[in-house]
Each structure stands twice: as C-alpha cells, then as structure tokens.
C-alpha cells in the first residue's frame, strides 16, 4: 500500500502572516493616533482650566530697598505697608488686595480690569478725584470727598443714582454706613482708560472699602499716588 503524501502550501502561510502583521500594524497606528488625540484634548482642558482659574497674570510683591511693589499683569502700586492679595475674592478681571491691622482686614482695594461691576458693587459713598498722568498713571486732584448723601435733600428717595462731586461723576449709595470710595477722573467718571506698556489701552475701575469703626483712608490715598498701568 502506498504511503500518502501530504503537501504543505507554504505560500498560503506566508500570505496569512503578512496579513496578520499588516492588521497588527494598522491597529497599533490607530491606537497611537487615538492616544495622541486624547492627550491633546486633556491638555487643552487642563490649560483652559488653569487660565480661567488664575487672575490676570501673576500677582506678586517686589521689594527693592524701600516700599514694596505689588504687581499684576495689568497694573502695579507701591507701599511700605504689607498689602495681601486675596485670591478667594478675585477673578481674572477683578483683583482684590487687603491690608490688615491687628490681625483684621481693615482696608480693601479692588481693581476691575475691562469689566464693569454690578451696580451694587460699583455704588459708593465717596470719590477720590484724580487726573491721568502720562497716559498710564494717576495724580491726585484733591482729597477724598464728603459723603455723597449730602447731595440728597430730606425729601429725596435714598436710592442709588449718578451724582457729581469733586469735579467727577460716580454712583452714590446714600444710605450705606460703610466708608467706601471710587477713583474718579476729573471731568469724566470712574472709568479710567490707561495705556499699558504694549501701547494698548485698558479700562480700570478702582474701588476702596474701609472696614474699621473709625475709618482712616490714608493708606488708600497713599497707594493711589503710585498706581499705574503696566
């Protein structure tokens, strides 16, 4: 009886191997592209989260043999007192600084950049008149005004309204017991257009609150003499 002869088709095995390798390579390429896309999306989300959770630029203090300079990406001011940046009360377009006395926050300075706050936040009891110097800084044009409630008669409704005092206009809240003030440009209002270092103009609204029983706004007046756009 003749022994059967088995024949192997080596060419078919080679074809299967090549197909398997191509499929494996294609799967690896698809997986790599998918991983790159996912990584890019995650990075963009992380970057946007960091941008929107941070204030405008880096806020820091710089001390060069004298008063400290408090600087953000849009402005700076100097003082010998230790103002503290308040991140919990700040946003990318609103920066708040506090000055403590006996462990308590007494002075509060808020700078709005390219943003107009709500009327309830914008209305104050006083104004500090200024002129714009060199397009990017402030020079005082008088002392902090008397309370704007003096402009209301006994029969006037004690409601928030625009008033003119010390040569400038601002929103007055006549019945507030708190000492508050806004910077007002003489001949204009509280919207301060200042030129930055790159030549672009930005709008600044500067509001001050004194939280003490016997308010002394001298710290506010002092730092406004050094305030400038950057």
* pLDDT at residue 75, as a whole number: 98
Across 12-26, 31-45, 52-66, 88-102, least confident range: 31-45
Please give the average per-residue pLDDT across 109-130, as a whole number. Answer: 98
* pLDDT at residue 66, as a whole number: 75
Domain ranges of the chain: 7-53, 60-229
Through-space distance between the first and last CA atoms of the chain, rounded to whole angstroms: 104
Among 158, 180, 159, 183, residue whose Cα is nearest residue 169? 183
* C-alpha span between 225 and 137 (Å, rounded): 8
Among 221, 204, 219, 207, residue whose Cα is nearest residue 135? 204
Q: What is the pLDDT of residues 150-163, one digit of tens each?
A: 999 999 999 999 99
Could you tell me the CA-to-CA distances from 148 to 83, 93, 122, 161 in Å, in that order? Answer: 28, 28, 14, 10
- In this predicted structure, the answer to whether residue 55 has a pLDDT above a threshold of 50 is no
* C-alpha span between 204 and 174 (Å, rounded): 24
Q: What is the pLDDT of residues 10-51, one digit of tens each?
A: 555 555 555 556 666 665 555 555 554 445 434 443 343 343
Contact indicator for 99, 84 with CB cutoff of 8 Å: yes
Comparison of pLDDT for 45 and 173, the residue scoring more: 173
- In this predicted structure, the answer to whether residue 53 has a pLDDT above a threshold of 50 is no
| For the chain, percent of residues with pLDDT exceeding 90 | 71
* pLDDT at residue 172, as a whole number: 98
- In this predicted structure, the answer to whether residue 178 has a pLDDT above a threshold of 90 is yes
Q: Which CATH architecture has domain 60-229?
A: 3-Layer(aba) Sandwich (3.40)
Q: What is the pLDDT of residues 195-204, one digit of tens each?
A: 999 999 999 9
Length of the chain, please? 230
Across 32-36, 41-45, 145-149, 167-171, least confident range: 41-45
* pLDDT at residue 9, as a whole number: 52
């Amino acid at each position: 009886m003749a022994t059967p002869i088995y024949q192997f088709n080596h060419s078919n095995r080679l074809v299967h191997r090549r197909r398997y390798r191509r499929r494996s390579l294609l799967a690896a390429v698809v997986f790599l592209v998918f991983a790159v896309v996912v990584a890019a999306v995650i990075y963009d989300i992380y970057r946007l989260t960091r941008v929107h959770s941070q204030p405008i630029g880096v806020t820091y203090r710089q001390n060069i043999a004298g008063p400290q300079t408090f600087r953000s990406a849009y402005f700076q001011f100097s003082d010998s007192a230790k103002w503290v940046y308040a991140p919990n009360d700040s946003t990318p377009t609103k920066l708040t600084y506090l000055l403590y006395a006996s462990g308590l926050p007494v002075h509060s300075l808020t700078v709005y950049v390219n943003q107009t706050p709500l009327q309830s936040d914008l209305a104050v009891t006083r104004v500090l008149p200024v002129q714009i110097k060199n397009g990017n800084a402030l020079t005082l044009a008088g002392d902090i005004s008397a309370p704007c409630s003096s402009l209301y008669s006994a029969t006037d409704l004690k409601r928030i309204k625009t008033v003119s005092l010390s040569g400038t206009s601002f929103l007055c809240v006549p019945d507030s017991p708190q000492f508050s003030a806004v910077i007002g440009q003489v001949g204009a209002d509280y919207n301060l257009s200042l030129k930055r270092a790159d030549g672009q103009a930005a709008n600044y609204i500067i509001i001050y609150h004194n939280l003490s029983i016997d308010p002394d706004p001298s710290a506010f007046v002092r730092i406004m003499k050094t305030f400038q756009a950057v």
